[in-house]
Amino acid sequence: MRKNPPLWGVRGAYMKRFIGFIKKEFYHIFRDRRSLFILFGMPIAQILLFGFAITNEINNVDVAILDHSKDANTQEIINKISASKYFSINQLIINEKDIETVFKKGKVKAVLSFEKDFSKKLIKDHEATVQIITDATDPNTANTISNYVNNILQNYTQGLNNKATIAYQITPQTRMDYNPELKSVFMFVPGVMTIILMLVSAMMTSISITREKELGTMEILLVSPLKPLHVIIGKVIPYIFLSVINATVIIVLSIFIFKMPVQGSLILLGLESVLFIITALALGILISTISATQQTAMMISLMGLMLPVILLSGFIFPISSMPMILQVISNIIPAKWFIIIIKGIMLKGVGLEYVWKETLILFGMTVFFIALSMKKYKIRLE
Amino acid sequence: MNNKNVIEVENLTKTFGDFTAVNAISFEVRKGEIFGFLGANGAGKTTAMKMLIGISNPTSGKANVAGFDVFTDADNIKRNIGYMSQKFALYDDLTVKENITFFGGIYGLSRARIKEKANALISELGLQEVTNQLVGSLPLGWKQKLAFSVSLIHDPKIVFLDEPTGGVDPITRRQFWEMIYKASYQGTTVFVTTHYMDEAEYCDRVSIMVNGKIEALDTPKKLKEQFNVATMNDVFLKLARSPSPTLPKGKGVNTDKDYNHEKKSSPLGS
């Protein structure tokens, strides 16, 4: 029998092996341009893209005016519209036929058409019509434009009503809580963060593990005194580290560039993120056990993880307006729960007492995926 | 266990469902020996080897490697063996030095020991110029030689080489075998699989697997006499081609009675 070295010696040796292993993993990451780009380029690019380019807000939309009346009231309305930062008057047209022409040119997104004798009707009948014609090739924008114009018109009528007295009028006052300016970036940040963490944690880990399988180095590692579990943990730790950095970068960017408030506890946000990162890593390990090549791992990650995260997590499309079957399916997507949690913390400032249910579900999923991937991993070793 | 045997295998079997990949093989490998483990693709070589290096559990039988049982003591086996395969040629995106440090590290060598080993190894292979270059930029032959040296970094009792010379040029193969001889001379047992029959001639003893069974095991010289052919290539072809081996039982599987540990002299000269 060989005498065992003292326990701390064994632990010390293990730690040393472990550190060497993690160091090696970082070499892999930092020497591969592709993975560097995915790790650091993607989060920044995505958050900026979603923040600046993909937006539901409208700014300086070109409108054309078709004024059949040309009186004081129409002029006032036109002035009001052109004074708002949402619209700029592109041109005045004189003919119904021109409407189609300006739309076809593409720049003008809406046409306001005032009926004949606008002022007269307004005074005589207390009612006059303005037609808002929008280019609905992009339905979302068209909708927003028409809402904004309506608002301006309502505003204007109210001003008129204050002068004259008219009985009984209900003026709805809407207030948008938690995102008063309806900034779409507030909606996207939690989603983008979810995507990035999923991408970095699950896809990168599954690729890096399958790469060792593909290159045959996994075999060498398994023949070495390193325990299979240690190999996996060693491969996963760098990605936990990088994912945390990524989450931080995203939050910092959204706070400083997009002025997104983080109402709730940053610590809770951090802990929930770590939980989600671990969920994603477990999924990554699971994927690596069922795929033999890096390509397969990447495809499975993209199809099996990214698409559901984008489509079914409530990130872009509200879950409540999905068909029933998809609503049910969305429940098994970890990202859905994570998005609910971080939206709550970031925008509403809620504490754990409001998101404990979602946290528990996410935790349960994590435990399940870890157990499953460990089991699969062991089977593969046989 | 016989002191001179570093590997003892008895009726080792591995089945996958109905398929018997390794069918009750028995053999011994002596200390310092170069043991050639031959067989056509799919004959069961790799499965057998995986059981011996502790990454696959045998279905039945007995096997003892470097003094430890494969069923109960795989961890200790792993600590005492080295392994290298054709498929594996170190990490391409790590430098020569980083590779050495990494593998030294996972075998638990101290930092000082790794440094000492690295220096010895680098100067022995003449890699001083490229220590800080990525392994991926080296020619395949250099990589294979480096990989072999790295597999010996923790001074294992046995080194398992799985088709180590696949795809390298004849000159490098020759140099590679010189390294194998050196390791063997220094007391490391070498367990090697190969498809090159000229390499089989370099082995002290050779076993040939056919359909999960060891159908022949002896020194290359005796095998050639036994099959009455001039080269190991012919021995191999004769065995591997016959659909159901016609050898009388026991004749092909040579146990150690008539084996003399011949004094090693490299057929390549030195």
pLDDT digits (tens, 9 = 90+) for B223-262: 999 988 888 888 888 887 765 444 444 444 443 333 344 4
What chain B holds in terms of domains, given with CATH numbers, is 32-55+80-253 (3.40.50.300)
Q: Tell me which residue range forms the domain holding A338.
A: 18-54+183-381
How sure is the predictor about B269, in pLDDT bands with cuts at 50, 70 and 90?
very low
Residue A76 lies in a domain: yes
User: Each residue of B176-233: pLDDT tens digit?
Assistant: 999 999 999 999 999 999 888 888 889 999 999 988 899 889 999 999 999 888 888 8
What secondary structure does DSSP assign to B199-267, as a single string?
HHHHSSEEEEEETTEEEEEE-HHHHHHHHT-SSHHHHHHHHHH-SS--PPTTTSB--GGG---PPP--T
Residues A196 and A278 in one domain: yes
The parts of chain A modelled with pLDDT lower than 70 are 1-14, 53-57, 163-185, 378-382
Which parts of chain B are beta strand (E)?
A: 5-16, 19-30, 34-39, 60-65, 68-69, 81-85, 158-162, 189-193, 205-210, 213-218
Domain CATH number, residue A114: 3.40.1710.10
A292 touches chain B (CB under 8 A): no
Structure tokens at A329: 């399916």
- The residue among A97, A130, A163 that closes a domain is A163
Interface of B with A in 224-263 (CB under 8 A): none
Contacts A17 to B, Cβ<8 Å: 105-106, 108
Are A382 and B56 in contact (CB < 8 Å)?
A: yes
Same domain, A139 and A258: no
**Is A286 a domain residue?**
yes
For residues A281 and A259, state if they share a domain: yes
A273 and A195, same structural domain? yes
Residue A4 included in any domain = no
Q: Which amino acid is at A231?
A: V
Q: What residue of A is the nearest CA neighbor of B161?
A: A220
With an 8 Å Cβ cutoff, is A17 touching chain B?
yes
- What does the pLDDT read at residue A1? 42
Residue A48: inside a domain: yes
Give yes or no: residues A148 and A77 share one domain: yes
Q: Which residues of A touch B56 (CB under 8 A)?
A: 382
Count of domains forming chain A? 2
Please state the rounded mean pLDDT for residues B148-166. 92
Does the CB of A3 have a partner CB in chain B at under 8 Å?
A: no
Give the tens place of pLDDT for each residue, A29-50.
Answer: 888 888 788 788 888 888 788 7
A292 and A372 co-located in one domain: yes
Question: Is residue A44 a contact partner of residue A224, using CB atoms and an 8 Å limit?
Answer: no
What average pLDDT does range B126-132 have in this prediction?
Answer: 90
- A156 by Cβ neighbours in 10 Å (0-12 / 13-18 / 19+) ranks as middle
Q: Is the pLDDT of residue B119 over 90?
A: yes
For position B265, what pLDDT does the model report? 43
Tell whether B105 lies on the interface with A, counting CB pairs under 8 A: yes
Of the candidates A13, A32, A221, the beta carbon closest to that of B108 is on: A13
Grade residue B83 by pLDDT with cuts at 50, 70 and 90: very high
Res A352: pLDDT: 86
A382 touches chain B (CB under 8 A): yes
**% of chain B exceeding 90 in pLDDT:** 49
